[in-house]
């Protein structure tokens, strides 16, 4: 079975095209809140192809996947592993991660202070800061952002704060925000491009709803319920201010509605060594409890991909309609797609995608006793 995906390789810093190469065993994923990954194999049947594959250099090459006219995934090639099997067949295993993985490889190495600055503006300025350094620009642009929340934060040269850590900590403060580095085709130039997409407090893409049915589009489902990851109270522990003997600790946040409804007290805590403002720690504790209140449920479904159901579902709304033995009275509910994992077609294996979902429910009330 021919793959519907084409892999385009380009220089990471300049976006100059390098080659278009076939991939085998292709799997890729993307998530809101963490980098996605890609794994595949480059077949090397002869010396001519070997010379082409040698132009792909780990750490400095971008790879884009296209499905039809859609740019559906993009990232950085991080590892390449040439190998030969017992039959003398040479292949190169490729591992890549979405462009936001670059934030885990860049440290803030300058004194930066933001006073009462919109948190989404801070994220953009941090990305501008790391891309301003010689050799640091990888072409990440910026889409218009919604209003965020004013924050006062400072970063010190020498603390070696990762950009990824700085952004994650800002996003964890109530009410929070989400962002991804999205890939798309620039309508003006036709080139493949990348930009920051923001959502405050949640990232929602598109206005329509994709309806998925069982029987029908849905191949499998799972609705795990995990009380070991959840909690009904939360505290956030910060750093120790200069001259103090103990770290600053937030108030205890309690999911009162769950306690009143019969759940026991289940405590959660988190550490934030570079935060010393109690108000910020309270915001972190409230946000963490809102995300972990009660059992954590992240439904997952596997669906057939088609012309109507494509891999570009991250951040969109899907409506599940399921009727089977477990959902004997029928499930009809809407969810936000927070993760997509795609398995490309191979011989005897159809193209499919696993969707990780978040229920579109009102958050549990969180109070400070």
Q: Which CATH number does the domain housing residue 185 bear?
A: 3.55.50
334 and 215 within one domain? yes
End residue of a domain, out of 247, 268, 292:
292
Instruction: Specify if 369 maps to a domain.
Output: no
Q: Is residue 368 part of a domain?
A: no
Q: Is residue 253 part of a domain?
A: yes
Residue in this structure with the two tokens 């579109």, named with its chain if needed:
360
Check residue 294 and give its pLDDT. Answer: 67
Q: Which residues pair with 198 in a beta bridge?
A: 179
Q: Which residues contact 349 (CB under 8 A, 6 or more apart)?
A: 1, 343
Whether the bond into 100 is cis, omega within 30 of 0: no
Q: Is residue 365 part of a domain?
A: no
- Name the residue among 337, 331, 334, 332 with its Cα closest to residue 357: 337
147 and 250 both lie in a single domain = no
267 with 343, same domain?
A: no
Out of 272, 292, 312, a domain closes at 292
Residues 181 and 122 occupy one common structural domain:
yes
pLDDT for 22: 92
In this structure, are 213 and 326 located in the same domain? yes
Range of the domain at 234: 229-292
Domain limit, last residue, from 99, 132, 159: 99
Residue 69 lies in a domain: yes
Q: Are residues 306 and 261 in the same domain?
A: no
Question: Domain for residue 46, yes or no?
Answer: yes
Question: Residue 11, Cβ neighbours under 10 Å: how many?
Answer: 16
Q: Is the same domain home to 191 and 250?
A: no
Whether 308 and 338 share a structural domain: yes
pLDDT tens across the length of the chain (369 residues): 567 899 999 999 999 999 999 999 999 999 998 999 999 999 999 999 999 999 999 999 999 999 988 999 999 999 999 999 999 999 999 999 999 999 999 999 999 999 999 999 999 999 999 999 999 999 999 999 899 999 999 999 998 999 999 999 999 888 889 999 999 999 999 999 999 999 999 999 888 899 999 999 999 999 998 888 788 999 999 989 888 999 999 999 999 998 999 999 999 999 988 788 898 899 899 988 887 776 677 899 999 887 667 788 999 999 999 999 999 999 999 999 999 999 988 877 788 999 999 988 544 334 444
What pLDDT sits at residue 295?
67
Residue from 148, 151, 201, 203 nearest 176 by CA: 201
Distances (CA, A) of 79 to 116, 280, 296, 364: 41, 38, 34, 42
Per-residue pLDDT, 2: 67
111 and 183 in a single domain? The answer is: yes
Q: Calculate helix-pair angle for 163-172, 119-132, nearest 10 degrees.
A: 180
Do residues 275 and 321 share a domain? no
* pLDDT at residue 35, rounded to an integer: 96
Does a structural domain hold residue 113? yes
Q: Is residue 364, in this structure, part of any structural domain at all? A: no
Looking at the structure, tell me whether residues 13 and 137 fall in a common domain. Answer: no
Pair 12, 36 in one domain: yes
CATH number of the domain where residue 53 is located:
2.30.300.10
In the chain, the number of structural domains is: 4
Give the global pTM: 0.87
């Amino acid at each position: 079975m021919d793959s519907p995906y084409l892999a385009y390789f380009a220089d990471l810093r300049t976006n100059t095209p390098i080659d278009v190469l076939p991939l085998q065993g292709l799997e890729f994923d993307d998530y809101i809140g963490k980098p996605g990954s890609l794994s595949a194999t480059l077949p090397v049947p002869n010396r001519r192809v070997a010379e082409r594959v040698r132009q792909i250099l780990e750490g400095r090459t971008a790879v884009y996947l296209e499905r039809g006219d859609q740019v559906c995934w993009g990232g950085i090639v991080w590892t390449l592993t040439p190998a030969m099997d017992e039959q003398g067949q040479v292949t190169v295993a490729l591992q890549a991660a979405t462009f936001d993985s670059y934030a885990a490889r860049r440290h803030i190495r300058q004194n930066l202070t933001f006073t009462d600055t919109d948190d989404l503006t801070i994220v953009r300025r941090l990305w501008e800061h790391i891309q301003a350094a010689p050799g640091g620009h990888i072409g990440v642009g910026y889409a218009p952002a919604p209003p965020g929340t004013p924050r006062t934060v400072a970063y010190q040269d020498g603390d070696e704060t990762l950009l990824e850590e700085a952004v994650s900590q800002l996003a964890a403060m109530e009410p929070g925000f989400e962002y991804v580095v999205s890939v798309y085709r620039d309508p003006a130039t036709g080139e493949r491009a990348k930009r920051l997409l923001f959502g405050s407090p949640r990232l929602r893409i598109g206005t329509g709803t994709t309806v998925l049915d069982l029987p029908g589009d849905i191949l499998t489902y799972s609705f795990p319920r995990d009380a070991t990851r959840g909690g009904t109270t939360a505290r956030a522990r910060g750093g120790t201010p200069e001259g103090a003997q103990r770290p600053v600790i937030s108030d205890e946040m309690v999911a009162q509605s769950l306690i009143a409804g019969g759940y026991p007290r289940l405590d959660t805590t988190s550490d934030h060594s570079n935060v010393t403002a109690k108000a910020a720690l309270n915001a972190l504790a409230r946000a963490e409890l809102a995300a972990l209140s009660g059992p954590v449920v992240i439904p997952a479904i596997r669906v057939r991909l088609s012309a109507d159901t494509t891999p570009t579902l991250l951040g969109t709304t899907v409506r599940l309609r399921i009727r089977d033995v477990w959902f004997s009275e029928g499930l009809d509910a809407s969810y936000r797609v927070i993760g997509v994992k795609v398995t490309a077609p191979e011989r005897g294996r159809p193209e499919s995608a696993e969707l990780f979902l978040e229920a579109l429910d009102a958050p549990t009330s969180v109070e400070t006793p």
